[in-house]
Chain A
Amino acid sequence: MKVTIKDVEYIAKLARLEYSDEEKKTFTKQFNTILEYIDKLNELNTDDIEPLSHVIELSNVVREDEVKQSLPVEEVLKNAPSKTDTFFKVPKVIGGT
């Protein structure tokens, strides 16, 4: 077993997801199957290989420092599940930031 239920709980917390106890068990099993498969990668020696982040060579894609029109506030808040006239509203944070 690569990961335990405890690991799954930690990852779920980081990702802001939750699973029932039953789901956790199934998930941990599935997760291990997938990770075992991924461990294939360790067959390869990659010591001298540079990681690849971008498949095409590009650099310095920039824009000039010019201001353009922002959205009307009604548009900004249009899809908000909870709002005031000008603010998004969320439940209080418990226990500080």
Chain B
Amino acid sequence: MTTVAEGIQYEPVIGLEVHAQMLTESKAFCACSTQFGRKANHNVCPVCLGMPGVLPVLNKKLVEFIVLMGLATNCSITSRSIFARKNYFYPDLPKGYQISQYEEPICRNGFVEIDLPDGNRKKIGITRIHMEEDAGKSIHDQDEDTLIDINRCGVPLIEIVSEPDIRSAREAYLYLSKIKQIVTYLGICDGNMEEGSLRCDANVSVRKTGDEQFGTKTEVKNLNSFRYVEKALEYEIHRQIDLLESADHVVQETLLWDADNGIVVPMRSKEEAHDYRYFPDPDLVPVVVDEPWIAGIRERLPELPTERRDRFIEEYELPRYDADVLTVTRDLADYYEAALQPVKDGKEKSYKAVSNWVMGDVLRVANERAIEMDQFPISPEYIGELVTLIEDGTISGKIAKDVFEIMLEEQKSPAVIIQEKGMKQVSDTSEIEPVVQEILGKYPDQVAEYRGGKTKVLGFFVGQVMRATKGKANPQIVNDLIKKSLDAE
């Protein structure tokens, strides 16, 4: 993006640091549960409490999860990576240091691709991804004191640091969405920004378009929802451009996004400039990820969102829009593909028809009820069957909507529901013909209109016959029979 102000074009330069909380059962360096929402200080043991004499022991799953993420983001995996201590004092940091990685992080030099609004793809470089432990919670809303909860201390995080390749707030949003999509596809993080399982800080600077050098950057923290990321960055970019335009300069500082007022505010701090005194943690030994281990982890790598989207377009001949929507989450894409099972020997038409059902009624209900796809009441195969039943003429599309509503409540297959409720479409002409004759006899005026050339009334007759058969008559056959009768004389 370039922003034009007073004839000078400016270009923002953004890098994101994303923290993702890993979905392990136990903490990174002790066996306490990572369960969210427990009572304060109930998921705590001597190790995460930082008692004298305790020692950390690394959770193997954390290594496997981060390697999975590294592979999914095209990183090279460091064969021998080490842990470091990041030293600072804060009451929710029991040991007075955070176990993290500094030199020799486990994943380096990767990238992800984002789809720009103009249809082009752009690579965003990933500098590094490393393991670290979360801190606890300080609760400041008391009058006198601050309350400390250690539960979250030691919960495993990965930090994904991007290159300063992002050039607009929109791109930052797309990048973050892509990261969320990947971690949820991998099943290593639930991606929930509101609950803090995904957190984002941004480094922002602007420069005159064409300049080689980066401008002075600020760090914007507290971007704890997808909505805010774009808003906050837009704000900060314009704030910096305004400063440069007014011949002022950007101060290198840390800013907090104030969502209530829609502004960034400098983080007030009595602390000295950060001097974290990183050094290798003597209590933890190197992590050596050799080829066989990587190969084992690679086998567990699922198809990633972009690949899957492209395959949907290719294999199921879906429009790009459909493929995008259906692959937003792994669960939804899985649902769609499971729904295809009953129509697999069918044609492309069925693939699109299933897509319409999933993107339409299924997603509508899921959104209305605010449920995840794995809790959706209709099993995906039934959606496929439903489409098959429409296509083979067993039911009409209209009846299918009714069947869908019943399936939501009764969790039965569409065939069973149609059977039980007698919803089968009637295609037998000998059953429909008497109804047609009855209706034509009931409306002699309209018959005359038709025969006088006003053929539009055909629709009226079809509607009447459908109503009389409670929607079960095959509309095409009804149409044909009425036309035949009217044209006969």
Identify the A interface with B (CB < 8 A).
Answer: 10, 13-14, 16, 53-54, 58-68, 70-71, 73, 76-77, 82, 84, 86-97
* B116 close to A (CB within 8 Å): no
Q: CB distance B272 to A86 under 8 Å?
A: no
**Contacts between the two chains (Cβ within 8 Å), count:** 126
The A interface is mostly helix, strand or loop, or mixed, namely loop
Q: CA A82 – CA B144 in complex, angstroms? A: 12
With A70-B33, A89-B148, A91-B145 given, is the CB distance from A59 to B41 under 8 Å?
no
Give the chain B neighbours of A65 by CB distance below 8 A.
24-26, 59-62
Q: Considering the complex of A and B, which 9 residue pairs feature the smallest CB-CB distances, nearest first?
A: A68-B31, A65-B61, A87-B147, A62-B60, A88-B148, A95-B270, A96-B268, A58-B285, A59-B288
* B349 close to A (CB within 8 Å): no
Enumerate 23 A-B pairs (CB-CB under 8 Å) in ascending A order.
Answer: A10-B272, A14-B272, A53-B82, A54-B285, A58-B285, A60-B287, A62-B57, A65-B24, A65-B25, A65-B62, A66-B31, A70-B32, A71-B49, A73-B39, A73-B40, A73-B42, A88-B91, A89-B146, A89-B148, A91-B145, A91-B146, A93-B146, A96-B270
* B457 close to A (CB within 8 Å): no
Q: CB distance A61 to B58 under 8 Å?
A: yes
- Among B66-104, those with CB < 8 Å from A are 80, 82, 89-91
Q: CA A5 – CA B311 in complex, angstroms? A: 67
Give the chain B neighbours of A91 by CB distance below 8 A.
145-146
Give A10's nearest chain B residue, CB to CB: B272
With A77-B41, A89-B146, A90-B91 given, is the CB distance from A59 to B287 under 8 Å?
yes
Chain B: minimal CB distance from A80 (Å)? 9
* B280 close to A (CB within 8 Å): yes
Which residue of A16, A64, A96 is within 8 Å of B89 (Cβ)? Answer: A16
Which residue of A53, A63, A67 is within 8 Å of B60 (Cβ)? Answer: A63
Q: CA A94 – CA B284 in complex, angstroms? A: 35
Give the chain A neighbours of B147 by CB distance below 8 A.
84, 87-89
Q: CA A94 – CA B270 in complex, angstroms? A: 8
- Among B41-63, those with CB < 8 Å from A are 41-46, 49, 57-63
Give the chain B neighbours of A87 by CB distance below 8 A.
40-41, 139, 147-149
Chain A: minimal CB distance from B77 (Å)? 14
Q: CB distance A62 to B39 under 8 Å?
A: no
Chain A: minimal CB distance from B17 (Å)? 17
Q: CB distance A89 to B282 under 8 Å?
A: no
Chain A: minimal CB distance from B104 (Å)? 11
* B150 close to A (CB within 8 Å): yes
- The proximity string for B residues 253-297 relative to A, scoring 1 for CB distances below 8 Å and 0 otherwise, is 000000000000001111110010100101011111000000000
* B421 close to A (CB within 8 Å): no
Identify the B interface with A (CB < 8 A).
Answer: 24-26, 31-33, 39-46, 49, 57-63, 80, 82, 89-91, 138-140, 144-150, 267-272, 275, 277, 280, 282, 284-288
Chain A: minimal CB distance from B358 (Å)? 34
Q: CA A91 – CA B40 in complex, angstroms? A: 18
Q: CB distance B43 to A70 under 8 Å?
A: yes
Which residue of A13, A60, A67 is within 8 Å of B288 (Cβ)? Answer: A60
Give the chain A neighbours of B90 by CB distance below 8 A.
97
Q: CB distance B44 to A70 under 8 Å?
A: yes
Q: CB distance B272 to A93 under 8 Å?
A: no
Give B270's nearest chain A residue, CB to CB: A95
Give the chain B neighbours of A77 by CB distance below 8 A.
41
Q: CA A76 – CA B49 in complex, angstroms? A: 8
Which residue of B24, B57, B272, B282 is within 8 Å of A61 (Cβ)? Answer: B57
Chain B: minimal CB distance from A74 (Å)? 10
Q: CB distance B145 to A66 under 8 Å?
A: no
Give B42's nearest chain A residue, CB to CB: A73
Give the chain B neighbours of A58 by CB distance below 8 A.
285-286
Give the chain B neighbours of A84 by CB distance below 8 A.
147
Chain B: minimal CB distance from A59 (Å)? 4
Chain B: minimal CB distance from A22 (Å)? 24
Give B139's nearest chain A residue, CB to CB: A87
Q: CB distance A71 to B46 under 8 Å?
A: yes
With A62-B59, A67-B31, A71-B44 given, is the CB distance from A93 to B82 under 8 Å?
no
Give the chain A neighbours of B282 by CB distance below 8 A.
53-54
With A14-B272, A88-B91 given, is the CB distance from A60 to B285 under 8 Å?
yes
